[in-house]
Amino acid sequence: MTDELTIAGIEAFGHHGVFDFERREGQVFLIDLTLGLDTAPAAASDDLRDTVDYGSLVAKVKTAVETDPVDLIERLADRLANVALGDDRVEWARVTVHKPDAPIDATFRDVALTITRNKRTDS
Protein backbone atom coordinates (compact mmCIF):
# COMPACT_ATOMS: atom_id res chain seq x y z
CA MET A 1 0.00 0.00 0.00
CA THR A 2 1.22 3.49 -0.80
CA ASP A 3 0.22 6.82 0.58
CA GLU A 4 0.09 9.99 -1.51
CA LEU A 5 1.80 13.29 -0.84
CA THR A 6 0.67 16.17 -3.04
CA ILE A 7 2.36 19.53 -3.53
CA ALA A 8 0.23 21.73 -5.80
CA GLY A 9 0.88 25.01 -7.53
CA ILE A 10 4.68 25.23 -7.43
CA GLU A 11 5.45 28.37 -9.42
CA ALA A 12 8.67 28.64 -11.41
CA PHE A 13 9.84 30.86 -14.25
CA GLY A 14 11.36 29.02 -17.20
CA HIS A 15 12.39 29.55 -20.79
CA HIS A 16 10.85 26.43 -22.31
CA GLY A 17 9.04 26.32 -25.64
CA VAL A 18 9.52 25.83 -29.35
CA PHE A 19 9.35 29.51 -30.26
CA ASP A 20 12.31 31.89 -30.01
CA PHE A 21 10.31 34.43 -28.01
CA GLU A 22 9.43 31.76 -25.41
CA ARG A 23 13.11 30.95 -24.99
CA ARG A 24 14.06 34.64 -24.87
CA GLU A 25 11.30 36.08 -22.67
CA GLY A 26 10.36 33.04 -20.58
CA GLN A 27 7.08 32.46 -18.76
CA VAL A 28 5.55 31.09 -15.60
CA PHE A 29 5.04 27.35 -15.23
CA LEU A 30 2.98 25.81 -12.46
CA ILE A 31 3.82 22.34 -11.23
CA ASP A 32 1.68 19.85 -9.30
CA LEU A 33 3.38 16.79 -7.81
CA THR A 34 1.80 13.73 -6.28
CA LEU A 35 4.19 11.18 -4.85
CA GLY A 36 3.49 7.60 -3.87
CA LEU A 37 5.35 6.62 -0.72
CA ASP A 38 4.95 4.78 2.54
CA THR A 39 4.46 7.37 5.28
CA ALA A 40 4.17 4.83 8.11
CA PRO A 41 7.84 5.15 9.17
CA ALA A 42 7.51 8.94 9.51
CA ALA A 43 4.18 8.61 11.30
CA ALA A 44 5.78 6.25 13.81
CA SER A 45 8.95 8.27 14.38
CA ASP A 46 7.71 11.84 13.82
CA ASP A 47 11.12 12.43 12.23
CA LEU A 48 11.67 14.30 8.96
CA ARG A 49 14.49 11.89 8.07
CA ASP A 50 11.87 9.16 7.64
CA THR A 51 9.93 10.88 4.88
CA VAL A 52 10.32 13.07 1.81
CA ASP A 53 11.49 16.56 2.73
CA TYR A 54 9.09 18.41 0.47
CA GLY A 55 10.83 21.74 1.08
CA SER A 56 14.02 20.36 -0.45
CA LEU A 57 12.05 18.63 -3.20
CA VAL A 58 10.31 21.86 -4.20
CA ALA A 59 13.68 23.64 -4.38
CA LYS A 60 15.00 20.91 -6.72
CA VAL A 61 11.86 21.08 -8.87
CA LYS A 62 12.12 24.87 -9.16
CA THR A 63 15.77 24.57 -10.18
CA ALA A 64 14.87 21.94 -12.78
CA VAL A 65 12.25 24.27 -14.30
CA GLU A 66 14.43 27.39 -14.14
CA THR A 67 17.47 25.87 -15.89
CA ASP A 68 18.30 24.05 -19.12
CA PRO A 69 15.42 25.06 -21.43
CA VAL A 70 13.66 22.38 -23.50
CA ASP A 71 11.17 22.61 -26.35
CA LEU A 72 8.32 20.51 -24.99
CA ILE A 73 6.50 20.29 -21.67
CA GLU A 74 6.56 16.51 -22.17
CA ARG A 75 10.31 16.56 -21.68
CA LEU A 76 10.07 18.99 -18.78
CA ALA A 77 7.47 16.82 -17.03
CA ASP A 78 9.69 13.75 -17.45
CA ARG A 79 12.64 15.65 -15.99
CA LEU A 80 10.57 16.63 -12.95
CA ALA A 81 9.35 13.07 -12.44
CA ASN A 82 12.96 11.92 -12.38
CA VAL A 83 13.77 14.57 -9.78
CA ALA A 84 10.98 13.25 -7.55
CA LEU A 85 11.96 9.62 -8.13
CA GLY A 86 15.50 10.48 -7.02
CA ASP A 87 14.35 10.02 -3.43
CA ASP A 88 14.55 6.31 -2.57
CA ARG A 89 11.25 6.48 -0.65
CA VAL A 90 9.25 7.64 -3.67
CA GLU A 91 7.71 4.66 -5.49
CA TRP A 92 5.92 6.64 -8.21
CA ALA A 93 5.40 10.26 -9.18
CA ARG A 94 2.54 12.02 -10.94
CA VAL A 95 3.61 15.37 -12.38
CA THR A 96 1.39 18.00 -13.96
CA VAL A 97 3.04 20.86 -15.80
CA HIS A 98 0.75 23.83 -16.37
CA LYS A 99 1.64 26.35 -19.07
CA PRO A 100 -1.05 29.01 -18.63
CA ASP A 101 0.63 31.48 -21.00
CA ALA A 102 1.14 29.04 -23.87
CA PRO A 103 1.21 30.81 -27.25
CA ILE A 104 -2.25 29.86 -28.47
CA ASP A 105 -4.32 32.23 -30.58
CA ALA A 106 -7.53 31.72 -28.61
CA THR A 107 -8.93 32.43 -25.18
CA PHE A 108 -8.09 29.58 -22.82
CA ARG A 109 -7.37 29.11 -19.15
CA ASP A 110 -4.54 26.59 -19.12
CA VAL A 111 -2.53 24.01 -20.98
CA ALA A 112 -1.54 21.11 -18.74
CA LEU A 113 0.21 17.80 -19.21
CA THR A 114 0.08 15.08 -16.55
CA ILE A 115 2.43 12.11 -16.55
CA THR A 116 2.95 9.26 -14.11
CA ARG A 117 6.27 7.48 -13.72
CA ASN A 118 6.87 4.39 -11.64
CA LYS A 119 10.31 3.70 -10.21
CA ARG A 120 9.97 -0.04 -10.72
CA THR A 121 9.03 0.05 -14.41
CA ASP A 122 10.04 3.49 -15.74
CA SER A 123 13.43 4.23 -14.29
Q: Select which of 60, 62, 99, 119 is catalytic.
A: 99
Does 60 participate in catalysis according to the annotation?
no
User: 33 forms bridges with which residues in the sheet?
Assistant: 7, 95
User: Residues with catalytic annotation?
Assistant: 99
